Chains A and B, each alone.
Chain A
């Protein structure tokens, strides 16, 4: 089976740093930034971009709908 590679783009200014995406990522791809956004939240980012499979689990559980997901066959 072809391996999937994915990537997420987080709208960092809209992210509320709730970490719901983080615990629902099966690949442990997501971390929270040290910096804060304009609202004062530590936003989500890909701490391990290589591991993302583009499954979109993070995006569908994000209450604020701030994650865009891309996927390709690697």
Chain B
């Protein structure tokens, strides 16, 4: 069969969602941010809520998310996206409101906003991209940097004696009464992409039921910051990030579904 016979509109199985703008993504080649952007916009398209969805971009690599997602968006001061989301959602309770944040933004500078929005049980979704590093500013240590992990400010590896331990903020917020759905996923392989998309869809669905915060962590790569090729960084992520940040649902319909103590150390 000739390729020309296959490439016809009636045989289409996957195309870029029109909810992503034509702007070129500012992310490095192979960065998981782009994959997550596409998934969120695919879900918004499938749920047909483009007119009713408001996103809040963070400070960090994804600061320009409002240029890429064709929905109403604003951008918050560093770490304050959950506070801005709270205000927007309370003014427009029928809108779907989400924040999109990295680990430096959400788990360092915005720790207070993250914890308190989750504790208050705001009806918002938080999409949290954890690549264990401050990507945009040059690969400095973040609260999520693994023990022993090299970064531009920990050239000999993170030593918890002087630099503290990496923080599992997702397990922390799962224990707050205001979170309804808490999960950790990845987007480096097709199976993971499919699971993440399901989680994103669920995050919008629980928002409709006003059950509190849906918190979706996506463990992702920062190949530039980690100084690896994209595929090597994804492999490194599987071998090093996943044992410490295990994938899977942590809280479903307001109930913790995994043994949190088991993963603590």
Interface centre among A62, A65, A67 (most CB of B within 10 A): A65
Contact between chains at B38 and A70 (CB < 8 Å): no
Contact between chains at A19 and B231 (CB < 8 Å): yes
Residues of A within 8 A of B8 (CB): 70
Interface size on B, residues (CB 8 A): 36
Contact between chains at A18 and B30 (CB < 8 Å): yes
Residues of A within 8 A of B234 (CB): 20
Give A14 to B25 CA distance when docked, in angstroms: 9
Residues of A within 8 A of B14 (CB): 56, 59-60, 67-69
Taking Cβ atoms with an 8 Å cutoff, the residues of B that contact A are 1, 3, 5-8, 11-17, 20, 24-25, 27-35, 38, 187-190, 193-194, 229-231, 234
Contact between chains at B13 and A54 (CB < 8 Å): yes
Contact between chains at A70 and B16 (CB < 8 Å): no
Contact between chains at A6 and B230 (CB < 8 Å): no
Main secondary structure of the interface of A (DSSP, over half): mixed
Q: What is the minimal beta-carbon distance from B148 to any residue of chain A, in angstroms?
A: 26
Contact between chains at A19 and B30 (CB < 8 Å): yes
Give A18 to B27 CA distance when docked, in angstroms: 11
Residues facing B in A17-74 (CB within 8 A) are 17-20, 23-24, 41, 46, 49, 54-57, 59-72, 74
Q: What is the minimal beta-carbon distance from A16 to any residue of chain B, in angstroms?
A: 4
